[in-house]
């Protein structure tokens, strides 16, 4: 029996990682209908900002280092939220109502972010700064002209080409300078060491429970409460829910829908940052870290149903527990102790590796969708979709 409880705990701990990763995705997808394939990369950015904060605190000395994680979480949130905000303003806001296009666009962004982390250096940052200075400064200057609307598209094309050209020329001019072109992170994985009070574990429940796992579960619960409070109790949460229900009507009643969209997307991205911070405690992080989570988290959202936090929670925990019980062979072991038929045990033993467990979980998800196509808690209301 204790093996089963241990299995359940481990499953919940996997599920909580899934949940914290899927939470932001569920908000963005559920409330805005946007498929954000760059979500995993936003997590990766959160993990890298945790790494940077850790290195800064390391230079402060010992007593400070123990508390870096408290600073790292808000920093990760802000970094990812800002990148998400830029992404929303720069690309996604032109694509609302066309979910397949957003899917492709965010995939492009995720590729760019992956390569960005690999090759970011001071020179690249300075060139980016020059580009934005020229481009946005240029727009501000030309905007003052009276015939702005007429020359808009031509000016924009010209400005893009000019400022990209100048930035690239600047980059290639200085690319011999080895101080400036030293990559910040390079393509190798980086390691985040947990502070002293998170290392080790307790055996209070009769089996080994690492503190890091408990910390992540606690962090997930905190995030959930925070998101619930924000959506249900704050003014902006009310506005977000209003826009979700009826965009046109909310706009007529004076709710700034564009601002609401930007805020929702930034919130979802920020949560990805916190998830990245949590993930960085579990193992080393690299530019490809985000890719490992993206499909699993989308499965959580699909099973949970759109626009319902409870559905997301149940789906994440369910998938996590199932994945662990099948993958670790706990279920097969459990069946053996009950002297179940040998064929059944063999069947579960066949799936008792982490990759084969995914095969089984996917088959179960497809079966589940045959019964409830719109997830655990489908949206109610009249639609034309019959």
Partner 1 sequence: MSNETGVQIKQRKRRNKLIEIGVIIASVIILAVILPSIIPAFRLRLIGRFLSLAIVALGIDLIWGYTGLLSLGHGIFFALGGYALAMNLKLQTTGGELPDFFTLYGVKELPWVWQPFNSFPFTIIALIIIPGIVAGLIGYLVFRNRIKGVYFSILTQAALLVFFNFFNGQQEIINGTNGLKTDTEKIFDIVVSSPGVQRTFYIITVICLVLIYLLCRWLTSGRFGRILKAIRDDETRVRFSGYDPTGYKVLVFAISGAIAGIAGALYTVQTGIITPSIMKVAFSIEMVIWVAVGGRGTLIGAIIGTLLVRLAQTFLSESFPEIWLFFQGALFLIVVTVLPDGIIGWWTNYGWFKLRSLFGQNQVVTYPSLEQDPGVQQEKDQI
Cα–Cα nearest to 86, from 124, 136, 48, 47: 136
Q: Which stretch in 196-204, 262-270, 331-339, 349-357 sits in contact with partner 1 by CB under 8 A?
A: 349-357
**173: contact with partner 1 by CB under 8 A:** no
* DSSP-derived secondary structure letter, 92: G
Among 61, 206, 341, 373, binds partner 1 (CB under 8 A): 373
Between CA 307 and CA 301 the distance in angstroms is: 9
Binding-residue pattern over the window 267 to 296 for partner 1, x denoting contact by CB under 8 A: ------------------------x--xx-
Hey, what are 84's tokens?
A: 């998400």
Question: To the nearest whole angstrom, how small is the minimum distance from the Cβ of residue 33 to partner 1?
Answer: 8
Hey, what are 241's tokens?
A: 């829910």
Among 299, 314, 315, 322, binds partner 1 (CB under 8 A): 299
**Stretch 76-115 residues interacting with partner 1 (CB under 8 A):** 91, 94-95, 99-105, 107-112, 114-115
> For partner 1, which is the closer residue by CB, 237 or 320?
320
Between CA 155 and CA 182 the distance in angstroms is: 35
> For partner 1, which is the closer residue by CB, 94 or 148?
94
Between CA 179 and CA 171 the distance in angstroms is: 13
**161: contact with partner 1 by CB under 8 A:** no
Angle between helices 235-245 and 257-280 (to 10 degrees): 110
* DSSP-derived secondary structure letter, 194: P
* DSSP-derived secondary structure letter, 190: B
> For partner 1, which is the closer residue by CB, 213 or 358?
358
Q: In the chain, what are the helix, strand and coil shares in percent, each to the nearest 5?
A: 75, 0, 25
Are 20 and 334 within 8 A, CB to CB?
Answer: no
DSSP string for 206-221: SS-EEHHHHHHHHHHH
Question: To the nearest whole angstrom, how small is the minimum distance from the Cβ of residue 301 to partner 1?
Answer: 8
Cα–Cα nearest to 114, from 296, 321, 300, 289: 289
Question: To the nearest whole angstrom, how small is the minimum distance from the Cβ of residue 86 to partner 1?
Answer: 13
Question: To the nearest whole angstrom, how small is the minimum distance from the Cβ of residue 100 to partner 1?
Answer: 5
Question: To the nearest whole angstrom, how small is the minimum distance from the Cβ of residue 278 to partner 1?
Answer: 22
Helix (H) or strand (E) holding 386: none
> For partner 1, which is the closer residue by CB, 56 or 139?
139
> For partner 1, which is the closer residue by CB, 44 or 281?
44
Which stretches of the chain bind partner 1, using CB under 8 A?
A: 35, 91, 94-95, 99-105, 107-112, 114-116, 118-119, 291, 294-295, 298-299, 302, 353, 355-356, 358-359, 362-363, 365-366, 369-370, 373, 384-386
């Amino acid at each position: 029996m204790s093996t089963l409880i241990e299995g359940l705990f481990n499953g919940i701990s996997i599920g909580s990682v899934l949940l914290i990763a899927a939470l932001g995705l569920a908000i963005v997808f559920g409330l805005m209908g946007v498929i954000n394939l760059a979500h995993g990369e936003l997590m990766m950015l959160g993990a890298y900002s945790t790494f940077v904060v850790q290195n800064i605190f390391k230079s402060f000395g010992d007593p400070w280092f123990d508390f870096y994680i408290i600073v790292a979480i808000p920093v990760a949130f802000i970094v990812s939220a800002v990148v998400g905000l830029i992404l929303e303003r720069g690309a996604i806001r032109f694509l609302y109502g066309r979910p397949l296009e957003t899917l492709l666009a965010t995939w492009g962004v995720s590729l760019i972010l992956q390569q960005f982390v690999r090759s970011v250096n001071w020179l690249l940052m300075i060139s980016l700064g020059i580009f934005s200075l020229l481009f946005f400064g240029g727009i501000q200057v030309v905007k003052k002209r009276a015939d702005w609307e007429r020359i808009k598209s031509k000016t924009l094309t010209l400005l893009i080409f000019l400022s990209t050209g100048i930035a690239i020329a600047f980059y290639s001019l200085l690319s011999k300078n080895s101080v400036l072109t030293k990559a910040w992170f390079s393509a190798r994985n980086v390691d985040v060491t947990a502070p002293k009070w998170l290392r080790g574990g307790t055996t209070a429940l009769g089996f080994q429970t690492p503190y890091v796992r408990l910390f992540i579960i606690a962090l997930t619960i905190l995030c959930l409460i925070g998101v619930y409070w924000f959506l249900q109790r704050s003014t902006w949460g009310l506005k977000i829910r209003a826009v979700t229900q009826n965009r046109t009507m909310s706009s007529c009643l004076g709710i700034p829908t564009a601002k609401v969209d930007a805020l929702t997307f930034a919130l979802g991205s920020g949560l990805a940052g916190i998830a990245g911070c949590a993930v960085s405690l579990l193992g080393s992080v690299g530019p490809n870290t985000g890719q490992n989570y993206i499909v699993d988290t989308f499965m959580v959202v699909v099973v949970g149903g759109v626009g319902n936090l409870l559905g997301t929670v149940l789906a994440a925990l369910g998938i996590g527990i199932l994945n662990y019980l099948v993958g670790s062979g706990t279920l097969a072991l459990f069946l053996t102790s009950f002297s179940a038929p040998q064929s059944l045990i063999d069947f579960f033993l066949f799936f008792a590796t982490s990759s084969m467990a995914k095969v089984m979980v996917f088959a179960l998800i497809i079966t589940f969708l045959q019964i409830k196509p719109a997830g655990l808690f489908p949206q109610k209301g009249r639609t034309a979709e019959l």
